[in-house]
Amino acid sequence: MGPAGVKPSGVRVVLMKTIGRPGIVSVVAVVALSAAPAIGQTLVGGQTALQNVNAGALAARRAEIQAAVEETLEAAITDVVDELGIIRRVGPVRWPPVDFTFERPALVLVRSPRDAVQRLDDVLLEPGVSLLDQIGLEEGVEATSDEISAIVVRLGGLATYPAQVKPTASLHTTLEVASHEWLHHWLFFRPLGRRYAAGGELQSINETVANIAAEEIGDLALERLTGEAFEREPWRPRERRAEPPADAFDFDREMRVTRLRLDELLADGRVAEAEAYLEERRLAFVANGHQLRKLNTAWFAFHGTYAGSSAAASPIEAQLRAVRADAAGLAAFLERVSAIAEVGELEAMARAAGPLALPARLGEHAR
């Protein structure tokens, strides 16, 4: 792709608010509609009559402008990380360059012991592997050892170079995912990133650092592109968050309950009971509109890597948030945490940072 920092002419990025269901139309398609109103109706109040769009013409236009859209978003992210003092300048080059392509996300085969939530080595798969073949791979892995659970999951992005980003998300999510993958590129040249393959706590710190920083970068990039500031609620530990209505099936709350009970059963060595419990819970999620094909220790091993997830059971996010609150800015936070190379260093860093100052009420920002 061309050099980041230059916004191609003739491309106007618009904020997708609601077009059918959230995320059903890719950011590339939205930009295509904006750049070529003749293909479809102009966005008015977040709505458009996509049913009137000629699918073939839209696909052709999408292919025609995809590279320009990628460069536009890359430029916005580059400008943000440059202004924040995160990216380095090497002569006229900003390093590492922000570079991604819209690709169908890759699949990954995740494995975990049945009697513990522990992410073993992953196997990256081609994105076109069919669902039947995915199931066959899972069954094949589990047939080779009755001590291993397996699941195939589709990634939202992949930090190859250039990074791969799914083309089916909203503009805001796309900016966050692209920023997340670029942060892995940035971390690769620092101790934390080089320890990613160690797995466990260090892998989780990598992913959670990228998530936290990508939120801030993505929010600022969105404002740069649309002129609309995104007001994100300040982070709170789970015990300080507002509880959803008791009679509502809240995914995060229910998944957190599931993870805690799973850990209890596994700690007691009740593996078969734990697996029966997970299937019971999976059916409850499906009955409430959450299509979980499979729920096992491998599922939790993958999703639990992201410490902010309700599938996680570690203090890593809270520790990182304490360090972030203590840092003078995002660049200072990243420089501090990117030096982590050993298990336990984050905990010591968080203790040195002191307790996290929390807002007194929703909408009031923490330090």
Q: Write phi, then psi, for 348 (nearest 5 degrees).
A: -65, -40
CB 178, CB 76: distance < 8 Å: no
Kindly write down the DSSP assignment for every residue of 11-72, as one continuous string. Answer: --------SSSTTSS-HHHHHHHHH-TTTSPPPBTTB--GGGS-HHHHHHHHHHHHHHHHHH
CB 350, CB 321: distance < 8 Å: no
For tokens 């260090």, the residue is 202
pLDDT in tens, 273-295: 999 999 999 999 999 999 999 99
Dihedral sign (CA 366, 73, 189, 90):
negative
CB 310, CB 252: distance < 8 Å: yes
> CA 365, CA 99: separation in Å to the nearest integer?
32
148 has which bridge partners?
A: 113
pLDDT in tens, 146-169: 999 999 999 999 999 999 999 989
Q: Residue 323 is encoded by which pair of tokens?
A: 């360090």
6 CB contacts (<8 Å, ≥6 apart)? 71, 75
- Look at residue 169 in the predicted model and tell me its pLDDT: 92
Q: Residue 361 is encoded by which pair of tokens?
A: 């009420």
Does residue 329 have a pLDDT over 50? yes
pLDDT in tens, 44-57: 334 444 445 577 78
* pTM tops 0.85, yes or no: no
> CA 209, CA 217: separation in Å to the nearest integer?
12
Does residue 114 have a pLDDT over 90? yes
Q: Of 211, 199, 299, which Cα lies nearest the Cα of 259?
A: 299
Identify the band that residue 330 occupies on the pLDDT scale cut at 50, 70 and 90.
Answer: very high
Give me the chain's average pLDDT, please.
85
> CA 363, CA 351: separation in Å to the nearest integer?
26
Identify the band that residue 19 occupies on the pLDDT scale cut at 50, 70 and 90.
Answer: very low
Q: Is 293 helix (H, G, I), strand (E, B) or coil?
A: coil
Strands of 123-125's sheet, edge to edge?
A: 123-125, 107-113, 148-154
End-to-end CA separation in angstroms for the chain? 39
Q: Is 348 helix (H, G, I), strand (E, B) or coil?
A: helix
pLDDT in tens, 127-146: 999 999 999 999 999 999 99
> CA 253, CA 152: separation in Å to the nearest integer?
24
> CA 39, CA 1: separation in Å to the nearest integer?
25
Does residue 13 have a pLDDT over 80? no
> CA 282, CA 278: separation in Å to the nearest integer?
6
Does residue 265 have a pLDDT over 60? yes
For tokens 């980003």, the residue is 165
Instruction: Compute the average pLDDT of residues 325-335.
Output: 97
Identify the band that residue 58 occupies on the pLDDT scale cut at 50, 70 and 90.
Answer: confident
Identify the band that residue 357 occupies on the pLDDT scale cut at 50, 70 and 90.
Answer: low
pLDDT in tens, 78-110: 999 999 999 998 888 899 999 999 998 899 999
Report in angstroms the alpha-carbon separations of 80 from 27, 77, 179, 224.
Answer: 20, 5, 10, 8
- Look at residue 53 in the predicted model and tell me its pLDDT: 53
pLDDT in tens, 294-305: 999 999 999 999
What is the percent of the chain where pLDDT is above 90? Answer: 73
Name the residue with higher pLDDT: 6 or 77. Answer: 77
Instruction: Compute the average pLDDT of residues 170-179.
Output: 97
For tokens 């930009």, the residue is 31
Does residue 320 have a pLDDT over 60? yes
Q: Is 256 helix (H, G, I), strand (E, B) or coil?
A: helix
> CA 343, CA 346: separation in Å to the nearest integer?
7
> CA 54, CA 31: separation in Å to the nearest integer?
16
Q: Of 75, 82, 10, 62, which Cα lies nearest the Cα of 225?
A: 75
Does residue 23 have a pLDDT over 50? no
Does residue 36 have a pLDDT over 70? no
Question: Strand runs (DSSP E) across 81-184, as ranges?
Answer: 88-90, 93-95, 100-102, 107-113, 123-125, 148-154, 157-158, 163-165
